[in-house]
Amino acid sequence: MRPLVLLAATLLVSLGALDPAASRPGQDRPNIVAILADDMRADCVGALGHPVVKTPHLDALIRDGCTFTRAVAAYPVCVASRAELLTGTTAFRNGVTYRGLAIERSLPAWATTLRTGGYQTWFSGKWHNDGEPRSRGYEDTRGLFSAGSGENSPQLPDHAGRVPTGYVGWTFKTNTGEVDRSHGVGLTRDTDRLIADAAIEFIGRKTAQPFFLHVNFTAPHDPRIAPRGFENAYDPRRIPLPPAFRDRHPFDHGNETGRDELLLPKPLQEQAVREELAVYYACIANVDAQVGRIVRALRERGSLDRTVILFGSDQGLALGSHGLLGKQNLYEHTFRIPLIARGPGIAQGHRTAADAYLRDLFPTTCELAGVPVPPTVEARSLVPLLGGGSVPVHPFVVGYYTNTQRCLREGDWKLIHYLQADRTQLFDLGQDPLELTDLAADPRHARTLRRLRHRLGRWLTDRGDPSA
């Protein structure tokens, strides 16, 4: 049955078998600007209580919009997380798991769906999936930053003078795919400003159609290089360690020798982590500044009041929490992401603890645009919550990383299972939000443990997890 469903979905999108709402004049449908940070923790927003990092422009989006305080990225690694967003499906459906990196070609893509529904579709920034944006429905690109054609070129060292191991050989590309070396190779102090410049160029265009603009920043992903103007924004001596800081993780969680975990020597040294955090916060502050520039461009064009702005991240990051550095884990500091929506029809100042996935943005934007959601999409629209509603869209959320980790979070309860290590953790997030006290061996919680294990196993089996 699955090939028939996929074929039908492709035909619906390609032939334009759309709801009449999708063919209305563009003026009564909102523009959509989706902005994604890279490796940004959910707690690194000033308005959400972070004691150090300053994010006035994100704070303004929170004040004027709806914030999901428990949103998650199901597969915490860049390529897989973005594939889920682009297809609205789990990694088990779209093919971007530890068994492969290419997105299943028959799945209707996010931009393709909106483009067929009458939207102009534009892309700016990091592209970290197979193919390129124009093969995924984006009709035009500016400020495209992707791998290739700079592998043997020198790159700017990170803040500590180390040779980068991330974004090696990446370059900006023209709309026709030609390499533009004028902006350097790899990350520089100006990469995200240039991405924002390209987004602002798009916003300045005149069009009779509503537009969908997808902006992918690179920060605060490593190599962490202080952005221009933010070189001394945060003093490492004044940076507190993460509340869940440990100098090492107690066991191999499934990525002990991965690239991210080797960025600093183990056991972790407090001063080195503080120095890393200082530049991490500077990179987030720069992303915030670029978001402010994009919002200002919308206001100056007169489009702000008819534009839905979405801000999120592809996953969080450990950076010292639980003795880890990278994103390849399912603790809340990595599993949770910032997710903010602002625009027409969206409740102002609303914060919801309802569960949400990053991939839910696909059907959410379709509903806002009056475009039918392809039947292949497994994600769910968050529109019922954007207006201030409280009815849950998901009864629980599930996370997964390669063939080593699985998790389920239901209310305050969180189960993490490590397949290769054959270990299970159970946390009561209501009493222990930092996940420091493992209750898996506590007989008082044996029934809860069994229930969550059963629910997780059934969910994974239903979605074709090869490890289930």
Residues 272 and 411 in one domain: no
Separation of alpha carbons 249 and 325, rounded Å? 10
Residues 380 and 409 in one domain: no
Q: Give the model's pLDDT for residue 442.
A: 98
Structure tokens at 26: 């563009």
Cβ–Cβ < 8 Å for 299, 309: no
Q: Give the model's pLDDT for residue 91.
A: 97
* Structural domain boundaries enclosing 102: 31-394
Structure tokens at 30: 């909102």
Q: Give the model's pLDDT for residue 7.
A: 36
Q: Give the model's pLDDT for residue 27.
A: 54
Separation of alpha carbons 468 and 262, rounded Å? 30
Query: Which of 177, 180, 158, 178 has the alpha carbon at shortest distance from 168?
Result: 158
> Which of 335, 364, 394 is a domain's end point?
394
Residue 113 lies in a domain: yes
Residue 273 lies in a domain: yes
Residues 195 and 53 in one domain: yes
Residues 126 and 256 in one domain: yes
Residue 452 lies in a domain: yes
Residues 313 and 453 in one domain: no
Residues 262 and 382 in one domain: yes
Residues 428 and 318 in one domain: no
Count other Cβ atoms within 10 Å, centred on residue 161: 6
Residues 227 and 304 in one domain: yes
Residue 3 lies in a domain: no
Residue 24 lies in a domain: no
Residue 107 lies in a domain: yes
Residue 152 lies in a domain: yes
Domain with residue 286: its CATH number is 3.40.720.10
Per-residue pLDDT of the chain (468 residues; tens, 9 = 90+): 334 333 334 434 433 333 333 334 445 899 999 999 999 999 999 999 999 999 999 999 999 999 999 999 999 999 999 999 999 999 999 999 877 789 999 999 999 999 999 999 999 999 999 999 999 999 999 999 999 998 888 899 999 999 999 999 999 999 888 999 999 999 999 999 999 999 999 999 999 999 999 999 999 999 999 999 999 999 999 999 999 999 999 999 999 999 999 999 999 999 999 999 999 999 999 999 999 999 999 999 999 999 999 999 999 999 999 999 999 999 999 999 999 999 999 999 999 999 999 999 999 999 999 999 999 999 999 999 999 998 899 999 999 999 999 999 999 999 999 999 999 999 999 999 999 999 999 999 999 999 999 999 999 999 999 998
For residue 431, the number of C-alpha atoms closer than 13 Å in the C-beta half-sphere is 7
Contacts of 424 (CB under 8 A, 6+ apart): 415, 416, 417, 418, 440, 449, 453
Residues 297 and 348 in one domain: yes
Residues 310 and 419 in one domain: no
* HEC letters along the chain: CHHHHHHHHHHHHHHCCCCHHHHCCHHHCCEEEEEEECCCCCCCCHHHCCCCCCCHHHHHHHHHCEEECCEECCCCCHHHHHHHHHHCCCHHHHCCECCECCCCCCCCCHHHHHHHCCCEEEEEEECCCCCCHHHHCCCEEEEEEECCCCCCCCCCCCCCCCCCCCCCCCEEECCCCCEEHHHCCCCCCCHHHHHHHHHHHHHCCCCCCCEEEEEECCCCCCCCCCCCCCCCCCCHHHCCCCCCECCCCCCCCCCCCCCHHHCCCCCCCHHHHHHHHHHHHHHHHHHHHHHHHHHHHHHHHCCHHHEEEEEEECCCCCCCECCCCCCCCCCHHHHECCEEEECCCCCCCEEECCCEEHHHHHHHHHHHHCCCCCCCCCCCCCHHHHCCCCCCCCCCEEEEECCCEEEEEECCEEEEEECCCCEEEEEECCCCCCCCCCCCCCHHHHHHHHHHHHHHHHHHHHCCCCCC
Q: Give the model's pLDDT for residue 26.
A: 46
Separation of alpha carbons 121 and 135, rounded Å? 12
Contacts of 412 (CB under 8 A, 6+ apart): 428, 429, 430, 431
Domain with residue 459: its CATH number is 3.30.1120.10
Residues 315 and 450 in one domain: no
Q: Give the model's pLDDT for residue 23.
A: 38
Residues 355 and 453 in one domain: no
Cβ–Cβ < 8 Å for 154, 185: yes
> Which of 360, 394, 428 is a domain's end point?
394
The pTM for the full model equals 0.94
Q: Give the model's pLDDT for residue 100.
A: 74
The count of domains in the chain is 2
